[in-house]
Amino acid sequence: RYISTFRPAVKCDAEKNKAQWKTMGPAKVAVPSPKQFLQKHSKEPKLPARQKEQDSKKLPALSVPRRTDHPVMGIQSKKNFINTNAVAAITGLPKKPQPIYVDRRQGDKYLLETSGLVPKYIKKKDYGVTPKYITRRNEELRRAQQEYEASMLEHLKKRALKRLSDEERRSLLQGLKKNWEEVYRDFQSLPVQIDTIPKRLYKEKLELQMKQLEHDIEVIEKHKVIYIANE
C-alpha cells in the first residue's frame, strides 16, 4: 500500500493547530441581565431638569394693584368733565376719513396708503440720489484703475524700445544666414525618395525653418533701423 512521505509532517501540523480556536475570545461570556432592555424613547435627547427660581430675583411690576394696596382717599376734583368734553367736541377739527379703495363695485375695502397706488417712494428726500456705497465703490474702482495705469506706464518705461546698432544688425544678419545654410545643408542631405512618414515630417520641418529664416533675413535687409524691447 502507498504511504505518503509527508504523512508525519501533516499529522504534526494537525495536532499543533487542533486547538487554535480556543484562543479566540474569553472562554465564558457574561450573560446580560433581563432587566436591561431597550425602552421606548430612551435614546431621545432629554432637556435638563428645571431649576427653581431664586427668591432674590425681583418680581416684575404688575399692571394691577396688589391685594395689600389701598386706594388714595380724600382727593376731589372740581373739573366739569361734561362742559370740557362739549367744548373739545365743538372746537375740535373734524376727523378726516381714511382713504380706501375697493377692488370692484361691491367688493372689499382696502387701505389706499399701503396698496402701492400712492406715489410715496418718489416723494422721498433721497429719491434719485446715488447711494453712498455706490459712490464709495466707484471711487475705489477709479483709484484702482489709476494705480493700474501708473504701474503699466512704469512697466512700459522699463521695457522701452532700444535701437540696434549697425554692428549688432550685421552680426544678427550673419547669424541668420549661417543658420539658413545649416538648415539648407540638412535639406540637401535628404534622400531622393521620401517613402516614410518620419522622413516626410522631417522634410516639412526643414522647409518651414528655411522659409522662416528667409523671411527674417528679408525683413532685416529691408529695414536699416530696427528697434527691440528691453527685457
Look over the chain and give the mean of its residue pLDDT values, rounded to a whole number: 84
Q: What would the mean pLDDT of 67-71 be, rounded to a whole number?
A: 84
Residue 56 is predicted with a pLDDT of 57
Q: Model pTM?
A: 0.33
Q: Is residue 222 very low, low, confident or very high in pLDDT (cuts 50, 70, 90)?
A: confident
Higher confidence at residue 132 or residue 72?
A: 132
Residue 54 is predicted with a pLDDT of 62
Higher confidence at residue 200 or residue 160?
A: 200
Strand partners, 115: none
**CA 168/CA 226 separation, integer angstroms:** 10
**What 3-state DSSP class applies to 28?**
coil
